[in-house]
Chain A
Amino acid sequence: MQNSVADSLLAMQGISKRFGATQALADVSFSVRGGEVMALVGENGAGKSTLMKILSGAHRPDAGAIRVAGRTFAPGSPQQARDAGVAMIYQELNLAPELSVEDNIMLGREASRFGCLLRSRQRPRVEEALELLGHGELRPDAPVRSLSVGAQQLVEIARALVHDAKVIVFDEPTSSLTGHDVEHLFTVIRRLRATGRAIVYISHFLEEVRQLCDRYTVLRDGRVAGADALEGVSESDIVSLMVGRSVEELFPTVPHAPGDVLLSLDGLCGERFPIDATLKLRRGEILGVFGLVGAGRTELLRSVFGLDAVKSGRVRVCGATFSPAPRSAIAKGLGFVSEDRKGEGLAQGRSIADNLTYSRLQPYSTMGWLRLGARRAAVQRWMTQLQVKAQSPEQDIAALSGGNQQKVAIARVLHQDAHALLLDEPTRGIDVGTKAEIYRLIGQLAAEGKAVVFVSSYCPELLAVCDRIAVMSRGRIAAIRDTNEWNEHAIMEAAIATDEATGDDDERKSA
């Protein structure tokens, strides 16, 4: 251990941090050598982000010391941390969309004389950084907003290089990337590793960690649960370290049997996506929908629920046609859980009680006036049933963890008495323990005769939980089959292969 600390580029030792009553970090030691990619994994709330906030200068530790390249490092602000060579690449990118690639990369480090920009001095540095990342083809004068998310991320990485970052932290960098861009990012990170920099890679996706990283550190409840080389360690070993329990409990299932058809789509077309979507959903059935980002999964759910315009086609609930709109969809027994909890799914700043009952206040109102006591009691029951961890129904939803927020979002749909649940990425950004609770809940709902559409970009959960899986690609449903006829490879193939096929089709049409 002493050894590894000595030759570490980044060494954090005995870090502790307390927020009020909660011990966020207790005696955490974390070190990364140069030329190494270190995975930092753990459930939400395990202390990863607190540790990284301390590293980035946003928080000060109560105890412990940090050394970067052998020198004591005690940043008082994110600016100081950056200057000392620690760069953070977050999930949400920090770029000025109207500025060019070059301006973004050089932001704060502009080469200038007497306040005048010296573009001629800047340009080579920008090009050198992009070249190092293997993306010399990126035009420095292109406005950042015209780039894909993947390319924007490159700009941010290039900025870290220009700022002489020795330690680069990637915080969930792939969650908004498509499969293709993920591969590119990994290539870039491997190039960075080859330059001798220390890389910290934070991710929920253990397969990614396996592919990319050399060593791992698992945090659980603010402590280091384990740290070692990745070689010879199975994913389930890591998961066990993360959750403190075995993997068998990861995908709990509840036996259920499909009944009669509840929801059917007939050639449904939206403004852009979906294209000609036809499917049937039975009571007591869990239908998985897989697709790469941008394949039209979200649009499919949104147009069924009436949040996006429907151009043509029919939606039938129990055989009766209805024209989708949120109000009538709710009345017909459809429930939609948005993939975007913050932006759409929940009203941050409002209480749990409000968020849970917004879609159905009638049971507690007479002539438009609410009986708050009755509502409070009902909300309390739902919270107990779904095991929402919170102080009271009046607590601000924003104060809850992602998993508990998601439970409230699902509770709302159940509270509005939905029979067909349209769940868009219900387990995104949620810790492993809560994921398991949600899988079990979905199984229970199916057993009670509800129909569930489960959209996800994470194959293993679909394969474990669903009865049938539909794969979408370019806005079309490429295939629907029983789950036992799918495997991860086949699903990916269906998602990608038809992608290219339809692509050719489009080209032919436009030609």
Chain B
Amino acid sequence: MNESRPETRSEYRGNLSGGSRALAENGHRTSGWQLLSTTLGPLLALCIVWLVFAFLDWTRPLGGTFAEVRSFQLIVVHTAAVAVPALGMTIIIIAGGIDLSVGAAMALAATVGAYGFLNGYPPAVAIGMCIATGLAAGVANGALISSLRVVPFIVTLGTMMVFQGVGRFLAGDTPIRPPRESFAVLDEFQAPFPTPAWQMFSPGVWVMLLLGILVSITLRYAVFGRHVFALGSNEATARLCGINVPLTRVAVYALGGLFAGIAGVYQFAALGEGNPMDGIGKELPIIAAVVVGGGSLSGGRGSVLGTLSGAAIMAVINHGCTTLNVGDMYQDILIGAIIIAAVALDQYRQRRMADK
């Protein structure tokens, strides 16, 4: 078998080089509008939402604070808290999965980190424990889904409760509050107005951007990224092409867990405590960020830029409503409506593309 390979291959080369060029010239022909409506759609929506709030605020007496740098700094800090775990969720959703346990995993990770700080471990160790906890939770999710062949919705629904219970057990059923000076490193991590001022944004925001770039590059340029998309758009094809489906799936959930662990650091930095109950309900805005950003729950679609925009849209709405003094309930209604509108718009676009 092996001896014959070079022969046939070279034969093919000969065949190939003789081919016509007609197709190459045709090249890329994605229209600008198409690019705008698919890849940049969520970003465009973000700009519109921001402009609407800026305008509404500007028309108020004594208004105009929304468009200031300070409010921008606040918005990005809130964005980062949701966007970091949502990056992991983006990978999971592209691979055709879902992780309901992400909030609980974040809270568990923050609790373990707090435990580390409480016991006076070096900051690097405590932060490492926090991230490793998230990673372990992700590996557990992936291993359970791959080995038991139960749908991820159910598995992660279960582990959500398990992680929360384990956290309460570790924390002795009360939030862990290490002394302030023990985690001085993280003091400024999620501070909206960092000193010195030239940093512009909190370190947490810069870390988010860095992670976003890394995930984006991985999805586009890594073999693993291609496998994730293959798995999400058609698992049978992935298997047929010799892709190691169980291993890829475990890696996907492990990455999701890793990001949940990093998000645990954010959560701990923001609150200064590790509370295993803090994760309740956190998974929903995270999933919403991915979905608003164009991720499809049936797998195969999603993007980092979209997810970051999705998280930012929700942060803008929150902050805008606060600035305008609009009650909490209106924020909820608005965000809920935007989630549905985003998916409906996406469906409409898909149908139109299918019709063509």
Contacts and interface: CB of A to CB of B under 8 A. Distances in A.
Interface stretch (A79-87, A131-139, A185-193, A363-371): A363-371
Contact of A419 (B4, B26, B29, B220): B4
Interface stretch (A230-238, A330-338, A482-490): A330-338
Contact of B16 (A338, A348, A381): A381
B23 A383 contact: yes
Interface string B239-279: 11111100000000000000000000000000000000000
Interface size bucket, A side? 35 or more
Contact of B223 (A307, A350, A369, A399): A369
A422 to B, nearest CB: 11
Interface residues of B, number: 47
Contacts of B149: none
Contact of A347 (B1, B28, B222, B234): B234
Given A349-B301, A385-B19, A412 B241 contact: yes
Contacts of B241: 326, 330, 358-359, 412
Interface string A369-383: 110100000001111
Contacts of A333: 1, 5
A448 interface: yes
B230 interface: yes
B239 A347 contact: no
B20 interface: yes
A497 B175 CA distance: 76
Contacts of B234: 343-344, 346-348, 350
Q: Which applies to chain B's interface (DSSP): helix, strand, loop or mixed? A: helix
B23 A384 contact: yes
B24 interface: yes
Interface string B165-207: 0000000000000000000000000000000000000000000
B244 A327 contact: yes
A345 B300 CA distance: 16
Q: Which of B11, B16, B20 has the most CB of A within 10 A?
A: B16
A108 interface: no
A349 B221 contact: no
A361 interface: yes
B248 to A, nearest CB: 12
Contacts of B244: 327
B224 interface: yes
A381 B19 contact: yes
Contacts, number: 129
Nearest to A368: B223
A450 B12 CA distance: 12
A91 interface: no
Contacts of A344: 234, 236-237, 240
A380 to B, nearest CB: 6
B147 interface: no
Contacts of B224: 368
Contacts of B353: 399
Nearest to B19: A384
A267 interface: no
A332 B27 CA distance: 35
A20 B34 CA distance: 15
A347 B226 contact: no
B333 interface: no
A4 interface: no
B300 A347 contact: yes
A354 B8 contact: no
Contacts of B226: 354, 358, 361, 370
Interface in A384-429: 384-385, 388, 390-392, 394, 398-399, 412, 414, 417, 419
A114 interface: no
B221 A372 contact: yes
A279 B230 CA distance: 34
B237 A346 contact: yes
Contacts of B236: 338, 340, 343-344
B240 A336 contact: yes
A336 B240 CA distance: 8
A390 B22 CA distance: 11
A257 interface: no
A262 B3 CA distance: 13
Contacts of A398: 354
Contact of B229 (A332, A350, A394): A350
Contacts of A331: 242
Given A307-B239, A358-B243, A394-B28, A348 B356 contact: no
A315 B25 CA distance: 45
A326 B240 contact: yes
Given A19-B356, A368-B222, A345 B240 contact: yes
A12 interface: no
Contacts of B22: 384
Nearest to B21: A384
B294 to A, nearest CB: 13
16 contacts: A336-B240, A344-B237, A346-B237, A354-B226, A368-B223, A370-B223, A370-B226, A372-B220, A380-B23, A381-B17, A391-B29, A394-B30, A417-B5, A419-B4, A419-B5, A449-B8
Interface of A: 19-20, 262, 307, 317-318, 320, 326-327, 329-333, 336, 338, 340, 343-350, 354-355, 358-359, 361, 365, 368-370, 372, 380-385, 388, 390-392, 394, 398-399, 412, 414, 417, 419, 448-450
Interface of B: 1, 4-5, 7-9, 11-12, 15-17, 19-24, 26-30, 220-224, 226, 229-230, 233-234, 236-244, 300-301, 353-356
State the 8 A-B residue pairs at the shortest beta-carbon distance, nearest first: A384-B19, A344-B236, A359-B241, A358-B241, A347-B234, A327-B242, A347-B233, A318-B1
Given A331-B242, A359-B242, A412-B241, 12 more contacts: A326-B240, A329-B242, A333-B5, A347-B237, A354-B229, A369-B223, A381-B17, A384-B24, A392-B27, A417-B5, A417-B8, A448-B11
